[in-house]
Structure 1
Amino acid sequence: METLSLARNEMSGPIPPSFGNSSKIKFLDISNQIDSGDASPTLLGRIDQFIPGMQGLVEVRMDHNGFFGPLPDATKLVNLRVFSATDNNLCGVPKFAAGASVDLKGNPHVGRAC
């Protein structure tokens, strides 16, 4: 599978670290997992534990969720062109390969140590 688009599906819970292991996914969209009943973000976890293992990523969108913790070191993701993780609770200094378009708005702790 090269494309996984599950945006706006009201999914909940953490994404396991093993999700990125040997992944062939190039386009990942898991954005806007908002529970319509209470408008709270429902996908959560630490993206630094699964994103670095997704070596083929070209585009990832994970906006408006409950992801927390440090940003991933994505310097080895040389195919990555778009990384969007707005409105989560991420922290740390962004580390991405040259040429990646990165949008981290709405993460008040980005740019600071975790």
Structure 2
Amino acid sequence: MRIDKYLWCIRMFKTRSIATDACKKGHVKIEGSNVKPSKEVFGTEKIIVRKNQINYQIIVMDIPPNRVGAKLVDLYRKDITPKEEFEHLELLKYSKDYYRKKGTGRPTKKDRRDIDEYTDDTYIEENHGTE
């Protein structure tokens, strides 16, 4: 079975065309090497799929005849993704929300100047002289 069809069948991607695009962009690897969407998948192969900033690691248990229900997915794949991948995603979420609340828009001029003043020592020297 083709890798793009396999990833669609085990519900890794919502559509087969999204799975194909992921393969073309290099987000799918088998045994550490990038694959084309037409690459054949066999049992006991290790697949790494980069999706939503997480590297999912999957071992092929069996080849499904067609797209399977969510409850039957574990018959055809074994997920060995380390917990650190999910923890890393949580840290990214917290780092994005640190400075500005969601929906507050762009920084104002004052916010930008405060940021520049905090991050750049040359701003102090140019605008306030040497201290």
Higher RCO (CA < 8 A, seq sep 6+):
1
The answer to whether the superposition gives a TM-score over 0.5 is no
TM-score normalised by the chain length of structure 2: 0.21
Higher strand share: 1
Higher helix share: 2
Larger radius of gyration: 2
TM-score normalised by the chain length of structure 1: 0.24
